[in-house]
Amino acid sequence: MAGTFKFELVSPERVLMSVDADQVVVPGADGDFAVLAGHAPFITTLRPGVLDVTSGGSKRRVLVKSGFAEVDPTRLTILAQSAFDVDELTPSVIASELKTAEADLASAKDDAARSAADALISELRRLGPKAA
* Consecutive H or E run containing 90: none
Report pLDDT digits (tens) over 45-103: 999 999 999 999 899 999 998 899 999 999 999 999 889 999 988 999 999 999 999 99
Q: In CATH, which of 2.60.15.10, 3.40.50.1100, 2.115.10.20, 3.30.2130.10 is domain 5-85?
A: 2.60.15.10
Report pLDDT digits (tens) over 15-46: 999 999 999 999 999 999 999 999 999 999 99
pLDDT value for 20 = 97
* Cβ(10)–Cβ(80) below 8 Å: yes
* Cβ(78)–Cβ(64) below 8 Å: yes
What are the residues whose beta carbons fall under 8 Å from the beta carbon of 122, sequence distance 6 or more? none
* Cβ(46)–Cβ(67) below 8 Å: yes
Q: Where are the domains of the chain?
A: 5-85, 89-131
